[in-house]
């Protein structure tokens, strides 16, 4: 294994829970004992200093029974109605089991638009960052009540991966109904072998296993888990598939239970820096003084006081080129203010931001985590 104890060394973990683990399909009820055991595991993670985010399936499975909807495939509007009914019941169940450990649950519903629209992405990221900083456990699901086919993730594997990328998580855990990735379908091939780890880019050989391996719970099976792995690893996050049918699945993971780890070639911080430096198209420029240049080179953020000029029109969350007074590029970063607001606060102290803008924004005009040196 390329990382010693990859789960235990993670500071920020996203846990995706499949519907088949959480909900009795016949009764539409939550598997309470299983959820209580998971809450024990999450409480232990928190006691170990880890931040935890939950991405949970099961809302439609719970809600459809309470609405008396028929078995089989539902119409879109029926699925949305079932989700509206089921999500409140799921949230209450999570709140109840985690409250026994004095943990606060915060419900967050998202759509694909929230991860692709730059402003909504930033709003969602900032909300999740604030909840984690305040010690809450965010509970995330797709907003099925408003999402249509065109703006849906379609499965919670990819949703969990997008969330992992959004918050720069160290590890994504997919709790499924199988041990991990097999080289062949173990239901029919008695000598099928579990693949313990996949390193770096997913090769065609590994992709081909998805077609011959057992199809697991959810709307897409192993194929969507590969897509989730690409998203997560692209953001520098490790991903693991493991069997969640047993009680205390996270505890079992730390004790070496069967699983498949997908290991990226970069950590979240490095991957984010690469993305800022090489992928984002700059929308403008900011000119900074010598003190700001030195601060950036020593790993600090850019404060308004160090900004000399703003060039171009851009929105909050856009990429900008940062230049020294002589025009040389220092690096690139994601700016926390629009060009109009940046013009108003440049050269001023952070304590003056609220008076100048009429609202309390971030102290940093470009945060060090959102900046990549040239």
Backbone angles phi, psi at 118, to 5 degrees: -60, -45
User: CATH 2.30.130.10: which residues of the chain?
Assistant: 280-373
At the top level of CATH, the class of 12-271 is alpha beta
| Per-residue pLDDT reduced to its tens digit, 295-304 | 999 999 999 9
| Per-residue pLDDT reduced to its tens digit, 148-199 | 654 466 678 888 999 999 999 999 999 988 898 888 777 777 888 898 989 8
CATH of 280-373, one of 3.40.50.10860, 3.40.630.40, 1.10.3720.10, 2.30.130.10: 2.30.130.10
Q: What percent of the chain has pLDDT over 70?
A: 91
Separation of alpha carbons 143 and 12, rounded Å: 23
| Residue-level pLDDT at 215 | 43
User: CATH 3.40.1160.10: which residues of the chain?
Assistant: 12-271
The pTM is what?
Answer: 0.84
Per-residue confidence in pLDDT tens, the chain, 374 aa: 455 688 999 999 999 998 889 988 778 889 999 999 999 999 999 999 999 999 998 888 888 888 988 778 888 888 888 888 989 999 999 999 999 999 999 999 887 777 767 778 888 898 999 999 999 999 998 876 666 654 466 678 888 999 999 999 999 999 988 898 888 777 777 888 898 989 877 766 666 666 544 444 444 577 788 889 999 999 999 999 999 999 999 999 999 999 999 999 888 888 888 888 887 789 999 999 999 999 999 999 999 999 999 999 999 989 999 999 999 999 999 999 999 999 999 999 999 999 999 998 899 999 998 999 98
């Amino acid at each position: 294994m390329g990382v010693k104890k990859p789960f235990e060394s993670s500071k920020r973990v996203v846990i995706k829970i499949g519907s088949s683990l959480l909900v009795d399909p016949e009764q539409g009820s939550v598997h309470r004992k299983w959820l209580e055991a998971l809450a024990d595991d999450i409480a232990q993670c928190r006691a170990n200093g880890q931040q935890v985010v939950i991405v949970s399936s099961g809302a439609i499975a719970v809600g459809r029974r309470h609405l008396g909807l028929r078995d089989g495939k539902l119409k879109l509007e029926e699925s949305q109605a079932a989700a509206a009914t089921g999500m409140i019941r799921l949230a209450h169940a999570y709140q109840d089991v985690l409250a026994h450990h004095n943990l606060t649950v915060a419900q967050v519903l998202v759509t694909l638009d929230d991860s692709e629209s730059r402003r909504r992405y930033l709003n969602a990221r900032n909300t999740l960052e604030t909840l984690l900083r305040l010690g809450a456990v965010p509970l995330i699901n797709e907003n099925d009540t408003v999402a249509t086919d065109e703006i849906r993730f379609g499965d919670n594997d990819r949703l969990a991966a997008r969330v992992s990328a959004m918050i720069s998580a160290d590890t994504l855990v997919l709790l499924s109904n199988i041990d991990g990735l097999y080289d062949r379908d173990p239901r029919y091939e008695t000598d099928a072998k579990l693949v313990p780890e996949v390193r770096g880019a997913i090769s065609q050989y590994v992709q081909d296993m998805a077609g011959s391996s057992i199809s697991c719970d959810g709307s897409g099976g192993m194929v969507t888990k590969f897509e989730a792995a690409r998203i997560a690893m692209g953001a520098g996050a490790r991903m693991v598939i493991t069997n969640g049918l047993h009680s205390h699945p996270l505890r079992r993971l730390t004790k070496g239970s069967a699983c498949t780890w997908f290991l990226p070639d970069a950590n979240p911080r490095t991957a984010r820096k690469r993305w800022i430096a090489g992928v984002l198209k700059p929308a403008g420029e900011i000119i900074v003084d010598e003190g700001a240049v030195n601060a950036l080179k020593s790993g600090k953020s850019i404060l308004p006081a160090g900004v000399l000029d703003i060039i171009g029109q851009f929105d909050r969350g856009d990429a900008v080129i940062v230049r020294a007074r002589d025009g040389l590029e220092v690096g690139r970063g994601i700016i926390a203010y629009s060009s109009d607001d940046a013009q108003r606060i440049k050269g001023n102290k952070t304590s003056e931001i609220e008076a100048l803008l009429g609202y309390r924004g971030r102290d940093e005009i470009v945060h060090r985590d959102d900046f990549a040196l040239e």
